[in-house]
Amino acid sequence: MKLIFEKHKEGRRGFSYGECDVASPKPLAEKYIRKNQAHLASLSELDVVRHFTNLSRFNYSVDTNFYPLGSCTMKYNPKFCEQITSLEGFSQLHPLLPQLSGGGMLAQGSLEVLYESEKLLCEITGMHAFTMQPMAGAHGELTGVMLIAAYHKNKGGRRKYIIVPDSSHGTNPSSAAIAGYEVIVIPTASDGYMDLVEYKKHLNNETAAVMLTCPDTLGIFNPHIKEIADLAHKVGALMYYDGANLNAMLGKCRPGDIGFDVVHLNLHKTFATPHGGGGPGAGPVGVNEKLIEFLPISRVVRRSDGTFALDYQKQKSIGYIAPFYGNFGVILKAYAYMLVLGKDGLISAAEIAVLNANYCLAKLKKYYDLPFDKTCMHECVFSAARQAKNGVHAIDIAKYLIDQGFHPPTIYFPLIIKEALMIEPTETESKETIDAFIKVMIEIARLAEEDPSAVTNAPLKMPIKRLDEVRAARQPDLSWKP
Amino acid sequence: MSYIPHTQEDIQEMLSAIGAKSIDELFKDIPASLAPKSFNLPASKSEFVVTQILRKLAAKNATGLVNFVGAGFYDHFIPASVDAIAGRSEFYTAYTPYQPECSQGWLQAIYEYQSIICQLTGLDVSNASLYDGGTALFEAMMMAVRATGRNKIILDSGVNLIYRTMLYTYTSNLSVEFVEIPVVHGQSSREELFKHLDDKCAAVILQNPNFFGAVDDHSDIVEKVHKSGALAIASVYPVSLGMLKTPGEMGFDIATGEGQSLGIPLSFGGPYLGFMAVKNELVRQMPGRIVGSTVDSDGKRGFVLTLQTREQHIRRQKATSNICSNEALCALRAAVFVSLLGKDGLKELAQHNYQKAEFAKEELSRIKGVEVKRSSPTFNEFTVLLPRHGDEVVHRMIEKGFACGFPLGRFYKGMDNYLLVAVTEKRTKEEICRLADSLEAVL
Provide the 3-class DSSP secondary structure of residue B265: coil
In this prediction, residue B181 has a pLDDT band, given cuts at 50, 70 and 90, of very high
Task: Compute the Cα dihedral for A133, A226, A374, B20 and give only its sign.
Answer: negative
Distance (Å) from the alpha carbon of B229 to chain A's nearest alpha carbon: 24
Give the integer Cα–Cα distance in Å for A176 and B337. 37
Among candidates A35, A76, A429 on the partner chain, residue whose Cβ is nearest the Cβ of B249: A35
Domains of chain A by range and CATH? 82-339 (3.40.640.10), 345-456 (3.90.1150.10)
Is the pLDDT at B184 greater than 70? The verdict is no
CA dist list (Å): B214 to A134, A194, B370, B376:
31, 56, 19, 6
- What does the pLDDT read at residue B79? 98
Among candidates B85, B115, B169 on the partner chain, residue whose Cβ is nearest the Cβ of A318: B169
Render pLDDT for B34-55 as a digit per residue (tens, 0 to 9): 999 999 999 999 999 999 999 9
In this prediction, residue B1 has a pLDDT band, given cuts at 50, 70 and 90, of confident
Render pLDDT for A229-277 as a digit per residue (tens, 0 to 9): 999 999 999 999 999 999 999 999 999 999 999 999 999 999 999 999 9
CA dist list (Å): A246 to A268, A296, B140, B225:
11, 23, 33, 48
Render pLDDT for B106-122 as a digit per residue (tens, 0 to 9): 999 999 999 999 999 99
- What does the pLDDT read at residue B185? 66
- What does the pLDDT read at residue B309? 79
Give the integer Cα–Cα distance in Å for B236 and B247. 8
Angle at CA of residue A403, ends A397 and A409, nearest 5°: 45
Give the integer Cα–Cα distance in Å for A129 and A122. 6
Q: Are the Cβ atoms of B172 and A113 closer than 8 angstroms?
A: no
Q: Are the Cβ atoms of B172 and A149 closer than 8 angstroms?
A: yes
Q: Are the Cβ atoms of B41 and A429 closer than 8 angstroms?
A: no
Q: Are the Cβ atoms of A479 and B13 closer than 8 angstroms?
A: no
Provide the 3-class DSSP secondary structure of residue B321: coil
Lowest mean pLDDT among A114-123, B101-110, B268-277, B411-420: B411-420
Render pLDDT for B279-309 as a digit per residue (tens, 0 to 9): 999 999 999 999 999 999 999 999 999 998 7
Give the integer Cα–Cα distance in Å for A46 and A145. 48
- By the CB < 8 Å criterion, does B85 face chain A? yes
For residue B54, what is the nearest residue in chain A, using CA coordinates? A84
CB pairs under 8 A between A and B: 695
Determine how many CB atoms are found less than 10 A away from the CB of residue B37: 10
Domain B80-336 fold: Aspartate Aminotransferase; domain 2 (3.40.640)
For residue B218, what is the nearest residue in chain A, using CA coordinates? A32
Is the pLDDT at B324 greater than 80? The verdict is no
Give the integer Cα–Cα distance in Å for A118 and A130. 5
Is the pLDDT at B326 greater than 90? The verdict is no
Q: Which residues of chain A fall short of a pLDDT of 50?
A: none
Domain ranges of chain B: 66-73+342-442, 80-336
Determine how many CB atoms are found less than 10 A away from the CB of residue B351: 17
Is the pLDDT at B76 greater than 80? The verdict is yes
Q: Are the Cβ atoms of B292 and A473 closer than 8 angstroms?
A: yes
Buried b / exposed e along A403-422 (16+ C-beta atoms within 10 A): bbebbbbbbbbbebbebbbb
Q: What single-letter amino acid sits at B138?
A: F
Give the integer Cα–Cα distance in Å for B342 and A38. 9
ipTM of the complex: 0.97
Give the integer Cα–Cα distance in Å for A264 and A283. 6
Distance (Å) from the alpha carbon of B145 to chain A's nearest alpha carbon: 13
Q: For residue A209, report the phi and psi dihedrals to the nearest 5 degrees.
A: -165, 165
Q: β-strand B418-422 against B381-385: which pairing, if any?
A: antiparallel
Domain B66-73+342-442 fold: Aspartate Aminotransferase, domain 1 (3.90.1150)
